[in-house]
Amino acid sequence: MGGLNPESEQRSQAKVWFIAGTDTDVGKTYVTALLAAALNGQGKRVGVYKPAASGCNRSGDELVADDAVQLWRAAGKPLDLDAVCPQRFEAALSPPESAKLAGQSVDQRLLVRGAEPWLRGEFDVVLIEGAGGLFSPISDQWMNIDLFQQFDDARLLVVAANRLGCVHQTLATCIAATERQVCPDGVVLCQTQDQRPASADSNAAAIARFGPTAVWGEIGFGASEIPEKLVRQVLGG
């Protein structure tokens, strides 16, 4: 659960989920978009927020965050793309390093304030997608876990790539989080390769056996839908 927000009394009653990875390129945006689409398909009003993105593409004078576009479309195009991702940087580095190359810095206050249109809006569920792993830097002073702790009543979903090494990465992330008084609510394993690795058959069981957090679902490569159980967990969480 996230930390206290002094303006929480002004917020809607939306369920707020922060989706973080164990690493970069683990399928975090893919899972978040599938979840947004499933919730939208059930008639839920879905908000999506990507506080900062790097590795953006330049289109004229604008920087376009492909991840933000994917989330926005999956959620049914709520608000606008600038609201989805207010801070965009071009270099494919962590947001603070990418910003530094552009002679800028990540606006830490905006990371939180940028969520307000979603948290105060008429949404049933708000999905906040971090940048990279849970312990990756998102500003000069904060890692993603620090940003998560700014959101009152937010729940935490961790996405891991379902491949060899996944057990260690997931356990390390979840156990380290508990040292910060954060207990992830669930883990989702996402297959990021077209050929299913042999370890994928046992990863979920090993994580459940050794870790503090349950595996809520597995997403196959190229899946067009998310497991109904995961949708129920998010709505019931």
Q: Give the residue numbers annotated as catalytic, written as ranges.
A: 50
Binding residue per annotation — 170? no
- Alpha-carbon distance of 195 to 137, in angstroms, equals 31
Binding residue per annotation — 22? no
Binding residue per annotation — 105? no
- Alpha-carbon distance of 142 to 120, in angstroms, equals 24
Binding residue per annotation — 29? yes
Binding residue per annotation — 54? yes
Binding residue per annotation — 136? no
Which of 190, 233, 234, 183 minimizes the C-alpha distance to 213?
A: 183
Q: Which two tokens stand for residue 125?
A: 């569920």
Binding residue per annotation — 27? yes
Binding residue per annotation — 228? yes
- Alpha-carbon distance of 176 to 229, in angstroms, equals 26
Binding residue per annotation — 26? yes
Binding residue per annotation — 43? no
Binding residue per annotation — 59? no
Binding residue per annotation — 165? no
Binding residue per annotation — 131? yes
DSSP secondary structure, the chain, as one string: -----TTGGGS---EEEEEEESSSSSSHHHHHHHHHHHHHHTT--EEEE-SEE-SPEEETTEEE-HHHHHHHHHTT--S-HHHH-SEE-SSSS-HHHHHHHTT----HHHHHHTTHHHHSSS-SEEEEEEEEETTSBSSSS-BHHHHHTTSTT-EEEEEEESSTTHHHHHHHHHHHHHHTT---SEEEEE--SSSPPGGGGTHHHHHHHHSSS-EEEEE-TT-SS--HHHHHHHHH-
> Residue positions in the annotated binding site?
25-30, 54, 67, 129-132, 228
> Residue positions in the annotated binding site for substrate?
54
> Residue positions in the annotated binding site for ATP?
25-30, 67, 129-132, 228
> Residue positions in the annotated binding site for Mg(2+)?
29, 67, 129
